[in-house]
Amino acid sequence: MKRLIAGVALLLAAPLMASADPGDSRYEPIAEGAVIHDHQTGLQWMRCSLGQSWTGQSCSGRADRFTWDQARDLNTEFAGKDGWRLPTMDELQTLVEYRMFNPAIDPTAFPETPPSNFWSSSEAAYDAYYAWSVHFANGFSNWRHKRQRFEARLVRDPE
């Protein structure tokens, strides 16, 4: 019986792990592929998590982890542009691909995304020691203590 249940679970999970629709033109690689322009929101995203590098084909290396204060203070020049910042919770949630699992993000647009928590710039309203994050294994959001260390992906407004 356990094998039957496990087999059914795998069959049901398989479509969730499939690639996003290749005909979906929501995301457009720019800046030699290192940046993704999101046509739905108008935002520009770093294709790789901070600490990873774009190879021209994929993201390589290990994503860095930051406390919330460290992540919030990240504002760097990237791909010849400045204005990069930690996304708000609403912005970060736009990247969640609910058809996907582990990670719950478009793997073509954002390859090698760790299935872990990513910081947003949004603080929890009820407690100054907490801020919001999105867990990209399943796409769920939750508040976390600011001293915890999580990954980050920066965003910028278009020019």
Q: What is the model's pTM? A: 0.83
Tokens of 39: 């046509």
Low-confidence ranges of the chain (pLDDT < 50): 2-23
Nearest to 114 by CA among 130, 134, 89, 129: 134
How far does CA 150 lie from the centroid of its chain?
11
pLDDT for the residue 22:
44
pLDDT digits (tens, 9 = 90+) for 100-117: 899 999 999 999 999 999
Query: Domain boundaries in the chain?
Result: 26-156
